[in-house]
Chains A and B, each alone.
Chain A
């Protein structure tokens, strides 16, 4: 399959009152056509900033892309001044209530996308809007377009957000923690919806979550982030079967598993390091149970193991 998006050595630097730091820091990955790629990692690891960088919306003036390329359909988005956001690349955010304009009807908020990009009138656009809303499981869309965000339930708001993102049939849909703000049953419905999108549309999905169990339900491949760096990229089945990076292994063993009735839930010892003054060598070494002297000195390279990528000295010289 063809590569749709290729992120190469992406580095975003933030200047804050007590110093500066990089998150993401030299991140590279690819998203293929029709593929769903998940990204997991603890809070502050740089997932959202990676997504915003692809959108060309890194928060200014604190953040700045200092290195890297983002190649989409063969063009470097960082050099291209006609960013395809809203058309070929669209994004869904974590909190649908805050992400919608509180004083504008949902119908208008959706139709303005078509008005902007296809020069349609409201009348022309709204037909497509209701069709898309219906397709994404919003009942009675003809009536719902006249409503304001606060009149929607949390799940319906997120459906409306997704409908908005899908209106122009994007090549890439970025979903940044789209289920995190929702309660569990609604969360399951939205995940179902993403699965449906994945099957029925030609859109690639970049799905971000701090919850590996959510990502595993829809992603073909998973990227694991830790403190601004990627530690592992693997196919979803493989990562559960045999996690390579000790951090990934820690994440998996801390997922509660109902079927196996694990009595002990393990969590990873320690806490995320400060990005302003990160540990030398591998950033995970202070929390790693398998650390070696080398890990404290030198940052690991990206090692390929089969089709997988892992940033860990344990895999030096392992070519299976």
Chain B
């Protein structure tokens, strides 16, 4: 198993390289000269030239990339021009908010999505099945910002149950923090809930039609045991892959959610960076998010390998 993990890590290296290259090139292709933007329209020509030299923007593109690569590899994502701080420091500061938001959204998606999918599959072609299918479709197609606003209007403004915006204050107790995360997590989680419910349903339906389920019945096993031990366990294996992919969607959705709920997370940082043309900040954040995504998928692959006996046995002796 250690060999498998090592192998997967080595495979990640070229991917990382291309991600860094892509991020670099995308930022090059975006119109607008960062030096000009920062110094403002009244800046003198020689100031702009000097500033471009400082940023290394006057060198050949290949040299720029090598310099960039070296910096990235040493953990230097540059300095934010508007915040006048290290980009990595800024990111790490905002990271806990986004991680909390994404994970609680994922938690909601799992806790609601998986049981809904199972029930729908077990009551295949019934009213319940239809209901779940429709709900899942709504969940998948509802826009996050719209749903977020509805949640705010209903639960904060009308009912006054939960706070609408901002982070909580831990000095006011745990509930203050938790309550601030409930609505954003719901808004963000609804999409993944729909996807996971749909996927669990189809995976479960497929498994329930397998010959080995018939064998389990022929063995005279209790129905609950068949459903849990033989059907559900096998049905959830492919769901794990989908969960991994959802984490990517959640990171993307966090941008919208954090904007709607005014949460100071990575998404909000990104939006601010884009609107204010903070070249280094956006570049650093895009790269950081891409790397996180790669490693999340690596983790999912490894977990998948752990529960898949074929891969496990393959690497058992080594």
**Chain A interface (Cβ < 8 Å from any Cβ of B):** 55, 57, 61, 83-87, 90-91, 93, 95, 98-105, 112-113, 116-117, 148, 150-151, 161, 164
Would you list 5 pairs from A and B whose C-beta atoms are within 8 A, ordered by A residue? Answer: A55-B217, A57-B218, A85-B218, A99-B215, A100-B212
A93 touching B215, Cβ below 8 Å:
yes
Q: A55-B217, A113-B221, A116-B225 are in contact. List 17 more A-B contacts (CB 8 A).
A: A57-B214, A57-B217, A57-B218, A61-B125, A83-B220, A85-B218, A87-B220, A95-B211, A98-B211, A100-B215, A101-B215, A101-B230, A103-B233, A104-B230, A112-B219, A150-B310, A164-B219
Most chain A CB atoms below 10 A, which of B125, B219, B230, B237: B219
The CA-CA distance from A103 to B214 in the complex, in Å, is 16
Interface residues of B in 259-318 (CB under 8 A from A): 307-310, 313
**Chain B interface (Cβ < 8 Å from any Cβ of A):** 125, 210-212, 214-222, 225, 229-230, 233-234, 237, 307-310, 313
A90 touching B218, Cβ below 8 Å:
yes
Residues of A within 8 A of B222 (CB): 116
The CA-CA distance from A148 to B313 in the complex, in Å, is 9
Most chain A CB atoms below 10 A, which of B212, B218, B313: B218
The CA-CA distance from A95 to B215 in the complex, in Å, is 11
Residues of A within 8 A of B237 (CB): 103
Most chain B CB atoms below 10 A, which of A93, A99, A150, A164: A99
Residues of A within 8 A of B217 (CB): 55, 57, 85
A116 contact from B220, B233, B307, Cβ within 8 A: B220
Most chain B CB atoms below 10 A, which of A55, A103, A148, A150: A103
Residues of A within 8 A of B212 (CB): 98-102
Residues of B within 8 A of A148 (CB): 309-310, 313
Most chain B CB atoms below 10 A, which of A100, A101, A150: A101
Q: Given A103-B233, A148-B309, A151-B313, do A113 and B211 touch, yes or no (CB 8 Å)?
A: no
Most chain A CB atoms below 10 A, which of B217, B230, B233: B217
Chain B nearest Cβ from A128, distance in angstroms:
15
The prevalent SS among residues of B at the interface is: helix
Residues of B within 8 A of A102 (CB): 212, 234, 309
Q: Given A99-B211, A101-B234, do A86 and B218 touch, yes or no (CB 8 Å)?
A: yes
The 8 closest A-B CB pairs, nearest first, are A86-B220, A98-B211, A86-B219, A101-B212, A99-B211, A148-B309, A85-B220, A91-B218
Chain A residue at smallest Cβ distance from B309: A148
Residues of A within 8 A of B218 (CB): 55, 57, 85-86, 90-91, 93
The CA-CA distance from A90 to B237 in the complex, in Å, is 29
The CA-CA distance from A90 to B307 in the complex, in Å, is 30
Residues of A within 8 A of B233 (CB): 103
Chain B residue at smallest Cβ distance from A84: B220
B234 contact from A85, A99, A103, Cβ within 8 A: A103
Residues of B within 8 A of A83 (CB): 220
Chain B residue at smallest Cβ distance from A57: B217
Q: Given A93-B211, A116-B225, A150-B310, do A101 and B216 touch, yes or no (CB 8 Å)?
A: yes
The CA-CA distance from A20 to B309 in the complex, in Å, is 42
A86 touching B211, Cβ below 8 Å:
no
Chain A nearest Cβ from B12, distance in angstroms:
27
Chain A nearest Cβ from B225, distance in angstroms:
7
A86 contact from B221, B234, B308, B310, Cβ within 8 A: B221
A113 contact from B220, B307, B309, Cβ within 8 A: B220
Residues of A within 8 A of B220 (CB): 83-87, 113, 116-117
Chain B residue at smallest Cβ distance from A174: B218
Residues of A within 8 A of B210 (CB): 98
The CA-CA distance from A99 to B210 in the complex, in Å, is 8
Residues of B within 8 A of A116 (CB): 219-222, 225
Q: Given A116-B225, A150-B310, A151-B313, do A99 and B214 touch, yes or no (CB 8 Å)?
A: yes
